[in-house]
């Protein structure tokens, strides 16, 4: 981004909100590919539903979040045939709405080996029952195409949520997942994200994975943990410290001495 818009966006949402530091990923031994999610399914109510209705073959999604997760899956299938890429080490990475889809892709797709979900918030790694920040009902009202049809109305009419987002996290077990958060990003509710990471830990342990490190707190970042919780100062953004955390996580779980590269799929 350039000009006044770029200056404002960078100062509010961080240096890497609009573009990825590809050289830093390459220097870490990672391959990197990105696609604009909106070019696959528009991020717009009405237009999104029309496109989703024509997706064939595929899972016939009714939510844009699932559609973007399917895009991760489809892209991973293409890159898995490249001899330079480890097909068993392709992770989905996304920020905010695409962080939600990265988690869905990890839990649903057998082509995705893990997820880097940064500030995924409601519909992602944060509790749907939480009243802090954006809340699920507000998100469902403002972005109805992200979620299943009619969810906002059902929530406003008292729908009792019998499941919470730790079920989504648990679907990835034993795949490694990174849950990125900012201390001032109250909108995404980092506190409930940590609580759900603790809840999903039981499933990871049952699957023979480490999950969260025993006794770890919100500030105890361990990139080698299978549920790796990252909390930094600041708000809803992608900054240099985040990139360091992303690469540390990927190297801890997928790095080796082979000449093949680990894949990092990003929706932007």
Residues classed as catalytic: 96, 236
CB atoms within 10 A of CB 65: 26
- Tell me whether residue 168 is exposed, middle or buried, using C-beta atoms within 10 angstroms of its C-beta: 0 to 12, 13 to 18, 19 or more: buried
H or E segment and range at residue 263: strand 261-267
**What are phi and psi for residue 64, nearest 5 degrees?**
-65, -35
CB 127 within 8 A of CB 165: yes
CA nearest neighbour of 9 among 265, 267, 239, 241: 239
The set of residues, in sequence order, having a beta carbon less than 8 Å from that of 262 and lying 6+ positions away, is 29, 30, 31, 85, 86, 89, 90, 91, 250, 254, 255
Structure tokens at 36: 């604009």
Longest CA pairwise span in the chain (Å):
56
Give the three-class secondary structure for 218. Answer: coil
Buried b (16+ CB within 10 A) or exposed e, 36-52: ebbebbbbeeeebbeeb
Local structure of residue 266 (DSSP, 8 states): E
């Amino acid at each position: 981004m350039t000009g006044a818009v770029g200056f404002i966006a960078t100062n509010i949402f961080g240096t890497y909100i609009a573009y990825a530091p590809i050289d830093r990923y390459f220097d870490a031994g990672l391959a990197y590919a990105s696609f604009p999610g909106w070019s696959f399914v528009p991020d717009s109510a009405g237009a999104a539903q029309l496109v989703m209705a024509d997706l064939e073959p595929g899972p016939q999604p009714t939510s844009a979040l699932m559609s973007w997760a399917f895009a991760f899956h489809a892209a991973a299938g293409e890159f898995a045939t490249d001899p330079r890429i480890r097909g068993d080490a392709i992770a989905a990475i996304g920020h905010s709405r695409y962080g939600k889809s990265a988690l869905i892709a990890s839990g649903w797709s057998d082509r995705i080996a893990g997820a880097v979900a940064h500030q995924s918030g409601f519909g992602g790694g944060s509790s749907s029952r939480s009243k802090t920040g954006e809340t699920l009902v507000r998100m469902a009202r403002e972005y109805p195409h992200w979620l299943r049809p009619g969810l906002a109305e059902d929530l406003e009419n008292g729908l009792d949520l019998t499941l919470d987002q730790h079920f989504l996290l648990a679907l990835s077990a034993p795949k490694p997942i990174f849950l990125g958060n900012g201390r001032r990003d109250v909108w995404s509710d980092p506190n409930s994200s940590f609580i759900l990471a603790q809840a999903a830990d039981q499933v990871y342990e049952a699957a023979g994975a480490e999950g969260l490190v025993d006794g770890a707190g919100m500030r105890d970042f361990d990139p080698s943990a299978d549920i790796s919780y990252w909390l930094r100062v600041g708000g809803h953004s992608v900054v240099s410290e985040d990139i360091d955390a992303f690469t540390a996580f990927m190297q801890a779980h997928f790095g080796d001495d082979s000449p093949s590269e680990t894949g990092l799929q990003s929706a932007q």
